[in-house]
Structure formats: C-alpha cells, structure tokens
Structure 1
Amino acid sequence: MNKNAKEAIVKAAISLFNSNGYSGTSIRDIASLANVNPAAIAYHFKNKTGLLEYCFMHFFEQYISKIEDAYAFIDRGAKECLKRIAADLLFYQSEHIQLTSFVYREMSIESQVVREIMSTYSLKEKYYFQKIFERGFEWNEFRPHSIPYLIIQLKGLLMMPFMNTRYMREVLYVFPNEPFFQQKYLKEIHLWIDKTLCSDVPIKKGAVIK
C-alpha cells in the first residue's frame, strides 16, 4: 500500500465526512471516491473510527503547532503574539476548510471518541492562551478581564466562520476561504484585541481578574 493511496483515502474521507457527516459515510463510500479497495482503509486506519481519529489528529497537530510557533516569540509582546496566532489559525483553517468544518461539527456532537481525542489538544490550547493573557496583564498590555471568558470569546471568533459555512454562503454570500473575507475578518479579530483587550488608560500592573 503506497503513500498516494493513504492520501487519497484521507482526502475522500474529509470530503464525504464534511458533506454527509461521519455517521452518514461508509467505508465503501470512502473507498469508492478514493478509488481504492476497502482493504486499503483497513490497512492504513483499521476502521472508520481510526480514520476519524487520524483526521482529528492531523488537524489539531498542525493547529497547536501554529500556536506554539507564535508563542515562541511571546517576548516581543502579548498583543503581537495573539495577533499572529489569530492570523495563522484563520489562514490555516481557511486553507483546510472542509476538514475544519467537519472537525468543528463533530466537536459539537460530543461523542466519546471525539472527547477522548480532544482532551489533550484542548488543554494545550487553553495553556497557551492563558499564558498569553497572563503575560498581557503582567506587562500592562491588556486591561484586566476574566481569562476563561476571554478564551471563550477568542475561540468563538476563530471558529465561527467555519461552523456556519452554509449560512455564510447562502445568506451573507460570503465564503470563509476567500482571501477577501480572510483579510477583512482578520481585521475584525484584531479590532477585538485592540479595543476589548487593550486600552490606553493606565492600569495597575499585575491586575488580573480570575
């Protein structure tokens, strides 16, 4: 079994999972679209659950890597670090829009398999976001806010376009993976950072709301 077959299986699975849902997609459907024998899926992934796990891990390994790469430059400022993360994640999700939309939809279903896969990645993401907000408070870049609520707001901004792709296309006539939308939406996220997090009003150093 060659690498091309594995890539074809993953590509077909992402497309079908995104259009028909995980439960609405069979191994035979994936094999047919990938133009491989169903045995090839068993060889590379054992079963459909293994394929689902691979797709999730493939998505979040790269997702977390984007955060880690940006966090390596935290000493240049918490605000700039957060803006870089927002840009990198937005463009990454746009570039892999089918996988992103599928992953977020499955996350909302709360299956045991998804919860098990997500546990480690969610904790890593929370760790980095929390450290960035804490540094921003410590360095007087950010006004005091509740960190859990800031994480919820930031996650909502980053996920929203990819959880509502149908509404955006059919009602707003906007496509989340279009460069025009990416640039415009990134400006809105930066505005949230500048206006909600940051302030020109002097604040007490080290002030944090738990």
Structure 2
Amino acid sequence: MARVMLVEDDDGLREALRLALVGLGHEVAVAADGPAGLAALAAPSAPAAECVVLDVMLPGIDGFEVCREVRRLGRLPIIMLTARSEPIDIVAGLECGADDYVAKPVEPRVLDARIKAVLRRAVPVERENGADGTVDLGPVRVDTRAMTVTKGGAPVELTPTELRLLLEFVTNPGQVLTRQVLLDRVWDYGYLGDSRIVDACVWRLRAKTEDDPARPRLIATVRGVGYRLDLP
C-alpha cells in the first residue's frame, strides 16, 4: 500500500481517517496544520511520503498554499479534501497543482481508491512514438522513454497527472478525446467523474507548454466534447 501524509485540522476526522486508512493497509503520518505538514514532509529522518492528503481549510497556512509548496518540491501526488462544493474552490485546488480532490464527508474507501489511482499515475506507462521515443510538438519535445518534456530545450516540470495527460494526447494526435475518456484513461476513474478535473489539468498543461495559453495551438478545445492535440 502507500505511505500517506494526512494534513487535517479536525481532530476527530483526522483520527477517523488515519484509523480507516491504516485498516485498509496504508502507513499514515498525520499533521494538524500546514506548517506541521510541510515540516513533516521535509524531515530527513521520516520515511518519505508517497502521497499527501490535504485539507483545504487549515490554520496557519491554508491547503492551497501548502499544495503550492509541496508542488514546488516535486511530483509527490496530492489529493485535496474539501468541504466546499463551489466549482471555483475545487478548480482552485487543482490549479495549485493537486492531482485530485475528495469532497467531505469523506468515505474512506473512496479516498483509498483515489490514493491507489494517483499512485498508479505517478508511474506513467511508457509510450513509444518516434524511433528514439521522442515526439516534437514545435518547440515542445516529449521523450516517452525518459518521461521528460522540454520546451525550447529547457525542462518543463509536470506533475504525474499532467505528464500522463500529455502522453495520452501524444499517443492519439488529431483525435478528439472526450472528458470522460480522459477521466477513465488518465485519472483511472471507472465511473462518471468530475470533468472540472480534466479542464483544470488541461489549463495547467497549456500554461506550461503553450506560448499563449489563452490561444492554444497544441491542445485545442472541441466545445461541448473534449480536447484534441493538433500537431504543428
């Protein structure tokens, strides 16, 4: 299973989730606020976390800022816990770099399934396109063997989910991929998921690969359907 860092300020919920996740086979470390969570993640003596489960509403430093800081440190998968149902709050978490979110009240088995899914996404499946495994998208080069992306020769830092999304587009150039298809293939959802996750991840991917994200030339929106990769 996984080594999970759970950052949640509600004492009762934190302990209930810890016990439930341990019962499902995970190793769980906990923190009650943002600074404590970041300190625990940075502690050299602690076993490295494989996934962070992070509440949005935290004292000290809120979950959005903690998410940004964790994302600056690398590709560690992040799942946000949110009591907010407004689309703008959910998308805000995803745009901070989260890989997924779970709405409160939290069902432990749903959270367990999401943890397993983000861990699978953290090890992208190799896709070969060119003879050397590289695909050139104008100034953007995708190496499907080394799992690296560059733009103009400079490295582009992608989260595991963003990388899998880009690989899905690269594998299917010119094809319209619906949001549900992308949820199934990239997020590993075997059910109707929330398409806002797809839209937010595409937004972040465009911000990192397009010269003008507001006028994308690589990842086109097919209104009312999904997205399509247009080769230069």
Relative to the length of structure 2, the TM-score reads 0.28
More strand by share: 2
Structure number, greater radius of gyration:
1
Relative to the length of structure 1, the TM-score reads 0.30
The structure with higher relative contact order (CA 8 Å, sep 6+) is 1
More helix by share: 1
